[in-house]
Amino acid sequence: MSMTLEQERAKYAFDAIAAFTGDKGKYATHIKKLPAMILNNGLGQALAYLLADDKGEYSAPSWSLYSQLRVWMTRKCICSGNDLMDSLMKGDSTQYMHAQHESLKLLAWMTKFADAYLPKTEGG
């Protein structure tokens, strides 16, 4: 029996949360803030924030979240290659809006699992 797309999202989100081993509080904060950033500023600016926040540290929570979004988008054929930002900038507006919508759907699951399994954060 194959999973629905919603089940795939939930499983990927659960696995992503479970696999993260860094600063879980900061990771949870990024997960919870990112949907509002996407809705207010767009996916590109929200992703740029994550990239700027990691300061080149691949172990940073912001880099991990960016990477998890990139892997999901690549699996779902929304973006191609290893550079999610580059793929979004080269794609058309339909692809961009689809990526934005899909990222919000995935982040909804990640937020639920962050609430359930990660330490509580200030204001969250």
Sequence-separated (6 or more) residues with CB below 8 Å from residue 78: 95, 98, 99, 102
24-117, CATH topology level: Peroxidase; domain 1 (1.10.520)
Residue-wise pLDDT for 10-38, tens only, equals 999 999 999 999 999 999 999 999 999 99
Contact indicator for 69, 106 with CB cutoff of 8 Å: yes
Of 41, 46, 40, 30, the C-alpha closest to 84 is: 46
Every domain of the chain and the residues it spans: 24-117
Residue-wise pLDDT for 70-115, tens only, equals 999 998 878 776 788 888 888 889 999 999 999 999 999 999 999 9
Contact indicator for 17, 118 with CB cutoff of 8 Å: yes
The token pair that represents 66 in the structure block: 């960016």
* pTM score above 0.75: yes
